Amino acid sequence: MAAKPMMMPKTTFVPPVIGHRGACGHAPENTLVSFRRAAALGVRWVEFDVRLSRDREVVVLHDEGLERTTNGGGLVAEKDWAELQALDAGAWYDEEFSGARIPSLGQAISVLAELGLGANVEIKPGPGQSDETGRITAARLRAEWPATLPPPVISSFDSESLKAARNTAPDIPRALVVSKIPTDWRNRLAALGCTALHCNHKHLSPGQAGEVLDAGFALRCFTVNRAARAATLFGWGVETVITDYPERMPA
Ligand code: G3P
Ligand code: MG
């Protein structure tokens, strides 16, 4: 009898430690220099956030607005890539990093390939852009992700973005991101074809961790910056911690 087609996305090896926004305890978040710092600290994967510019470039930036992490202002969704590219995304963190730019997804991928870093790409859609951000990001990853790297993990707090990513590139593994684990987590993960749940460790109990693992999903936690806490979470079966300080994590 012929094997049934796989209904779940392909799995990928995810290491126990992922650098948050690169290594944002050491360098300006979501910049190429932050990825380089993460690699220098020995991590094998980084997490970063992506959203769309007005002209539909996929850019690596956490916030909807530009004020906190650049010398610009206003909404990313209302700026073209040419304008975003001209901003300084490093000086706010420390003068040492002035001149760092907002990377495009393509630029990020090039540096990841150079460094041999895997990635968790977190989709942060602007208002009304859930479907489009998921679709465009997944299409870019499908087209541009280097065969030399392990498949990335697409994650999002936004179910619509994950649904769009699934429709566009079903083979790229997906994870639902939540702060507190909601009561309907099982149905949501199943409906979105996710292989993992990413949650804030502060709200996680060992019982919940056990339920997620028993249901066959991987569990990863953010943002874990203390070694003792990471050790506890690993003891509960958490696969991965996402951290601002990779060098603090248990070896
Ligand atoms: O992807 C894990 C974590 O990054 C989610 O929260 O706000 O840091 O993007 P945030
Ligand atoms: Mg994030």
Distance between CA atoms of 185 and 182, rounded to whole angstroms?
Answer: 5
- Among 124, 81, 127, 119, residue whose Cα is nearest residue 101: 81
In this model, does residue 60 exceed pLDDT 90?
yes
pLDDT of residue 99: 98
Is residue 9 predicted with pLDDT exceeding 90?
A: no
Q: What is the pLDDT of residue 71?
A: 98
Spans of all domains in the chain: 26-161, 173-251
Strand ranges (E), 34-103: 45-52, 58-60
pLDDT of res. 168: 98
Instruction: Report residues whose beta carbon is within 6 angstroms of any ligand 1 atom.
Output: 20, 47, 49, 62, 122, 155, 177, 198, 222, 242
Q: Is 20 considered catalytic here?
A: yes
Pocket probe mutation, ligand 1, options 29, 48, 222, 239, max atoms within 8 Å of Cβ: 222
Mean pLDDT estimate for the chain? 95
| Residue closest by Cα to atom 7 of ligand 1 | 62
Q: Which residues on neighbouring strands pair with residue 155, listed in sequence order?
A: 122, 175
- Ligand 1 center from residue 191 Cα (angstroms): 22
CATH 3.30.1330 fits 173-251, yes or no: no
Annotated active-site residue 26? The verdict is no
Model confidence at 133: pLDDT above 70: yes
Report pTM.
0.96
Same fold, 26-161 and 173-251: no
For residue 157, give the ligand 1 atom closest to its CA. Answer: 5
Which CATH number is associated with domain 26-161?
3.20.20.190
What is the biggest distance separating any 2 CA atoms in the chain, rounded to whole angstroms?
A: 64
Q: Residue type for 217, please?
A: F
3 near 30, Cβ under 8 Å? no
Q: Identify the three-state secondary structure at position 54.
A: coil
Quick: pLDDT tens for 152-208. 999 999 999 999 999 999 999 999 999 999 999 999 999 999 999 999 999 999 999
29: CA distance to ligand 2 center in Å?
10
C-alpha–C-alpha distance, residues 69 and 33, integer Å: 14
Return d(Cα 18, Cα 132) in angstroms, integer: 27
**Residue 119 backbone phi and psi in degrees, to 5:** -150, 145
Work out the pLDDT band at 4, boundaries 50, 70, 90.
Answer: very low
